[in-house]
Amino acid sequence: MRFYRQSYSKKLPKNRYAEYLPFKGSNDKIIDEGIAIYFQKPHSYTGEDVLEFQCHGGSVVLDLLLNEILKSGLARQAQAGEFTERAFLNGKIDLTQAEAIADLINATSEKAAISAINSLQGAFSNKIKELNEKLIKLRTYVEATIDFPDESIDFIDDGQVLIGLNELTKELEAIRKTANQGVLLQEGLRIVIAGQPNAGKSSLLNLLSGKESAIVTDIAGTTRDVLKEQINIDGMPLHIIDTAGLRNHTNDIVEKIGIDRAWKEIETANRILFVFDSTQKDYEEQINLFNLIKDKTNNKIAFSIIYNKLDLVTDFVPPKEFTDIASIKISAKDANSLDVIKEHLKQCAGYDNSTEGVFSARRRHIVSLQKAEDHIQTAIELIQNQSMFELSAEELRSTQQCLNEILGEYTADDLLGNIFNTFCVGK
Ligand SMILES: Nc1nc2c(ncn2[C@@H]2O[C@H](COP(=O)(O)OP(=O)(O)OP(=O)(O)O)[C@@H](O)[C@H]2O)c(=O)[nH]1
Ligand SMILES: [Mg+2]
């Protein structure tokens, strides 16, 4: 900022015009030359006065310029996400749009980027705002029955309010489903491959990643450390984690550490692919291992059983203990199995191929939408069963609160802190 003032006799460039000029340091020496643009409030990203410099690339020039600016005392380095936070606080964007900016920057697939752009353009917020308006209308009728208990309110009497509330529930549900797709596109899934040594876990990782990411040998205990690969299936990001084969009887210190690490990864998985060595005659050990994983994860994580090495066995009969668990039969050595696994993972995640109308969303949105649905449902029951309008009105107030939370109205400071901390510096 300092150079700019010196070279222009302390005058700012014309509002919203790109001016080419030298950037001078405090000793009057030219550090670089480039473009300065002045955005007068409120027509800037943050809604405040902003002066932007565009200089040549390269970290040294950038550092020199930045140091001069900081030395001038006229500016300080922004916190992570501070520009976007200011834009939000100044009412330029709502919270879902602010989050969409971070999602756009972090998008790992084209579909994820498209969904973030849609949110940034208001696809998600507008839906919530529409719902909010409908809700306010319905609330008015319910509140009126409390304020004027002796009057007959037509909309209540002819059941229109209940019809409206039921419609609202359906709309909320539809938005939650689309939002779920948005979360999947942004976050993806953490998939941990687990099983006995030699079951073919690393071969599965290699098949999924399309390269020799892991060493594969017929020696049990080949993988000792955790191996991670990121892939995407039709735009859905998957974080695939290969782990050391799980067994008790090993004296190898390195392998033991690997097994400890494997357990840590298993505990934080969204889904565990339990690789089953179908060539083993006796299933008992693998069934016991599966049950151990299930117990250790408190039965909270979803499983897929991957029956592997099917190319080596004829007339394979899966253990009856696994009948109710999602499963596929593959050969990790056969490239044709790749489509089978991908289809299975998409199906398990509930991933919809089409991105028609999809918008980026966060887990906190899903939680708020679910809470809003629950409150409306209770409100409906209270009216339907006992005409308890006061309690029902309270539930509808809470519904609105949940919707407002999504847009960032009345949002707790610590939540805002969490959201903007995830941004990179300079946005
Ligand atoms: N024929 C056949 N061989 C397979 C298949 N999957 C894996 N193998 C072989 O089985 C052996 C073990 O495979 P890995 O992928 O290293 O098994 P792992 O589960 O990672 O083993 P650890 O890292 O020791 O726990 C290797 O010789 C692989 O080539 C398969 O589907 N068919
Ligand atoms: Mg391995």
- For residue range 219-269, list pLDDT tens digits in order: 999 999 999 999 999 889 999 999 999 998 888 999 999 999 999 999 999
Of ligand 1's listed atoms, the one at least distance from the Cα of 275 is 19
* Confidence (pLDDT) at 81: 87
* Confidence (pLDDT) at 9: 41
Number of domains in the chain: 3
* Confidence (pLDDT) at 270: 95
Summary mean pLDDT of the chain:
90
Give the residue from 349, 381, 396 where a domain finishes: 349
85 lies in some domain = no
133 lies in some domain = yes
420 lies in some domain = no
Q: What sign does the CA torsion over 348, 166, 129, 423 have?
A: negative
Rounded Cα gap, residues 192 and 210, in angstroms:
17
Beta strands in 98-235 (DSSP E): 189-195, 227-233
Does the structure show a pLDDT above 60 at 10?
no
Q: What is the CATH number of the domain that holds 159?
A: 1.20.120.430
Q: Which of 196, 203, 276 is the pocket-test mutation for ligand 1 (most atoms within 8 Å of CB)? A: 203
**How does residue 57 score in pLDDT terms, banded at 50, 70 and 90?**
confident
Tracing tokens 């950037």 back to the chain, one arrives at 23
**How does residue 3 score in pLDDT terms, banded at 50, 70 and 90?**
very low
**How does residue 143 score in pLDDT terms, banded at 50, 70 and 90?**
confident
Q: How do residues 361-390 score in pLDDT, each as one tens digit?
A: 999 999 999 999 999 999 999 998 877 888
Residue 65 and residue 148 share a domain:
no
Ligand nearest to the CA of 207: 1
93 lies in some domain = no
415 lies in some domain = no
* Confidence (pLDDT) at 5: 40
Are 327 and 83 in contact, with CB atoms under 8 Å apart? no
**How does residue 17 score in pLDDT terms, banded at 50, 70 and 90?**
very high
Comparison of pLDDT for 355 and 329, the residue scoring more: 329
In 3D space, the residue among 386, 379, 376 whose CA is nearest the CA of residue 168 turns out to be 376
Does the structure show a pLDDT above 70 at 165?
yes
Domain containing 196 equals 188-349
325 lies in some domain = yes
Rounded Cα gap, residues 390 and 393, in angstroms:
5
Of ligand 1's listed atoms, the one at least distance from the Cα of 331 is 31
Using a 10 angstrom Cβ sphere, with 0-12 exposed, 13-18 middle and 19 or more buried, the burial of residue 235 is buried
Residue 284 and residue 142 share a domain:
no
89 lies in some domain = no
Residue 242 and residue 144 share a domain:
no
Residue 289 CA to ligand 1 centre (angstroms) = 18
Tokens of residue 110, six digits: 């084209």
Residue 275 and residue 258 share a domain:
yes
* Confidence (pLDDT) at 224: 94
Are 296 and 274 in contact, with CB atoms under 8 Å apart? no
Q: What is the CATH number of the domain that holds 46?
A: 3.30.1360.120
Residue 179 and residue 222 share a domain:
no
Residue list, ligand 1 pocket, CB within 6 Å: 197-203, 216-218, 220-223, 244-245, 308-309, 311-312, 331-333
Residue 299 and residue 249 share a domain:
yes
354 lies in some domain = no
Residue 265 and residue 173 share a domain:
no
Using a 10 angstrom Cβ sphere, with 0-12 exposed, 13-18 middle and 19 or more buried, the burial of residue 22 is middle
In 3D space, the residue among 143, 135, 123 whose CA is nearest the CA of residue 168 turns out to be 135
Residue 205 CA to ligand 1 centre (angstroms) = 11
Tokens of residue 159, six digits: 């059941």
Give the residue from 349, 375, 398 where a domain finishes: 349
Residue 199 and residue 343 share a domain:
yes
Give the residue from 302, 328, 349 where a domain finishes: 349
Residue 375 and residue 341 share a domain:
no
